[in-house]
A and B are shown apart, each in its own frame.
Chain A
Amino acid sequence: MRTLTDQEKRTIRFASVVLVAGLLLAGGLWSARRLQARRTAYQALLLEAQNVRDEIDRYQDKAQVAQKLIDTFHLDPMTLARTSLVAQASAAIQKASTEAGVAPGPIRESASRGASKEMASIQFEGSGPVAAVMALLYQLERAGCPLIIDSVRLTPDSRRPGSLKVNLTIVILDFEQWKSEGQPSA
């Protein structure tokens, strides 16, 4: 094989350096582009995480208010069972009546009107001292069921002087209708 001259060696060296530099440059640019793409994706992910976190932070206040209301009403809507809610409400009303000192009378349940997000309504009659009736009105709001007293009628109890007869129409709200309201329609 012919021995290379110095000029040829220099040319080969120069060509090698240029080739390696070119390869390095191309590789560097390719790597830089890939890294930049990854960084951009990461930044987008970071921004998304930040937004989600901000959104969740905003819900902290809502969650606190909800918790306060849960404590006030002794009621956690998420634990309500629709099938047994009317029975639970009836039992809670009678229990509140007994605890307040009101003698329960007839109790009538009727199905609700569908459009008003109500599950049922209960007619309650009872009698007792004034203070007991007031205590009943107070405790019904905190009976652990979603109850709203639709109407109140107080009349003297002719059989027991000093006592009142109380007629209440109580509505039981249906939380399931709130749940389904938030779901997207098909």
Chain B
Amino acid sequence: MSNFDLLNLPGLFIEICATSWQVSNGDDYLEFPLAHLEDGRLTDSCRDHLVAGLRNLLSKKGWRPRRRAFVAIGARGVSLRRLTLPLAAKEDFQRLLRLQIESEFPLPPDELAWGWQLLGHNSGRQEVLVAAVKKEMLGSCFEIFGACGVSPLFTLAALARNALCPPPLPSCAVLHIGSVESELLLFQDGAPSSIRLLAWGADSNTPLPAGCLNPKAIGGQLYLTGRGARNPAVVARLAQCLGNAAPCPALESGVSEGRSAAIAGLKKLAATGSGAPLLILQSGESGEQAAGVASWKWAAAAVLLLLALLGFPYVEAIALKPHLVKKLATIQADRERLPAIDRELEFLQFLKRSQPPYLDTIYLIAKLAPSGTSFESLSMTRRGDFSVRGKLQNAGQVTEFRSNLIHSAWFSSVVVDEQTPTPDRQVTVRMTAQVKPIDARKPLAVELPPTKPEPATNSAEPPKSAKK
């Protein structure tokens, strides 16, 4: 898998030079000049300017993943070695490589940002190209990229420029001519062998230091990149220095004026996808680690969500129980009043049931009595005993009155206790009866006089006259 396959967004390529950062994001291309302190670190304002510029260029959305950026760094502080290792399994190979780095480089691997590239196998051994730089030199870069939400993948600008060389690559050299200093990358047998930083550039008035360009080491070809490659005077000086032994072709044909050859090389590798894998400098605080932190954040969020999901049914019990207990106590206090309501209702219903229908009975008697009847006494009790004494016109009316009482369905056991004719041909009568219980009685149909105002009482409205 090529390293460029990791990019799933428009390519972000950065070259970090001694004097500027050049950034290419899709079609956008920006150059940020650098300002250094005396100890070589970037000034705060320069750092802020870089962060703001990169953020503005990337316009990062919160939901998007961190952008990966291929960052080409200069040769300052970089060591490039070709190491030969025995064939080994992957885990053992890493261990062997670390041991070899520890013996070959002045600093232990943990203090270096280093990467390797397999060059080939030869009689049971494998040749590896290793590049390393002190972690401290990339420290400020990590801070800036971290602030911009970018995961950087560091490689060497010189190796990236190599992608512009026409294949097949002979034993040669690539010289990048900067304004004040130059980078020389030497190739042997088609692979990088060493890298050097020359204190000489396109703006230098001094001649090229003697011996720094050995035609033997350069081999058959010297390719030029950078600003000086387009300057005929510089090229002439180089040719003079080399004794016109090797031609000096420029690799800037595919590079626009003022653009970085390293970025062009990275883009070329990205476009073809079949280029030689880049040598990526690994560091303990690389973007991979930042991405790992982000992954851990998502994992933690997922775990929290899961815990919330599992705990949600219990939250109600924990949060609402005190409130429920308080409310239940109030309800229980109200509940103690319920028997009182029961007793009160029972009492009132007993009172209602026990009220005898005196008025209804009197109304019914007045209605059922034949015309001309006069009552001398009437008595009733709560238990339903009813007796009446009166005078009717004749014996037939007595029978009629008795029948009416029976048919009214209000009375049972209607008995004429005494019936005595009087000298004026009337009949004095004494009757007793039993008022039926309320369930057995027929409801009364009350006939109200139309001219009278409607009384405010119920069917027990007292009749105006108890005598007929």
Contact = CB atoms under 8 A, between A and B. Distances in A.
B351 A146 contact: yes
Contacts of A133: 462
A154 B466 contact: yes
B462 A135 contact: yes
A46 B325 CA distance: 9
B345 A138 contact: no
Interface string A143-184: 000101111111110000000100000010101001101100
A146 B347 contact: yes
A153 B387 CA distance: 9
By secondary structure, the B interface counts as helix
A59 interface: yes
Contacts, number: 146
Contacts of A148: 351, 354-356, 382
Given A52-B328, A152-B358, A153-B378, A42 B311 contact: no
Contact of B338 (A48, A56, A73, A77): A56
Contacts of A19: none
Contacts of B348: 66, 69-70, 73, 75, 77
- What band does the interface of chain B fall in when counting residues whose beta carbon is under 8 Å from A? 35 or more
A141 interface: yes
Interface in A32-68: 35-36, 38-39, 41-43, 45-46, 48-49, 52-53, 55-56, 59, 62-63, 65-66
B321 A45 contact: yes
A171 B350 CA distance: 13
A130 B467 contact: yes
A78 interface: yes
Contacts of A153: 377-379
B111 interface: no
Contact of B347 (A35, A151, A152, A175): A175
Contact of A35 (B314, B342, B343, B461): B314
A75 B344 CA distance: 11
Given A65-B345, A138-B359, A148-B351, A59 B382 contact: no
A78 to B, nearest CB: 6
B359 A137 contact: yes
B343 A151 contact: no
Contact of B320 (A42, A55, A156): A42
B1 interface: no
A154 B464 contact: no
A52 B335 contact: yes
A149 B358 contact: yes
B380 interface: yes
Contacts of B339: 182
A4 B149 CA distance: 38
Nearest to A132: B462
A153 B376 CA distance: 11
A153 B382 CA distance: 12
A18 interface: no
Given A62-B342, A131-B464, 5 more contacts: A41-B317, A42-B316, A69-B351, A135-B462, A146-B351
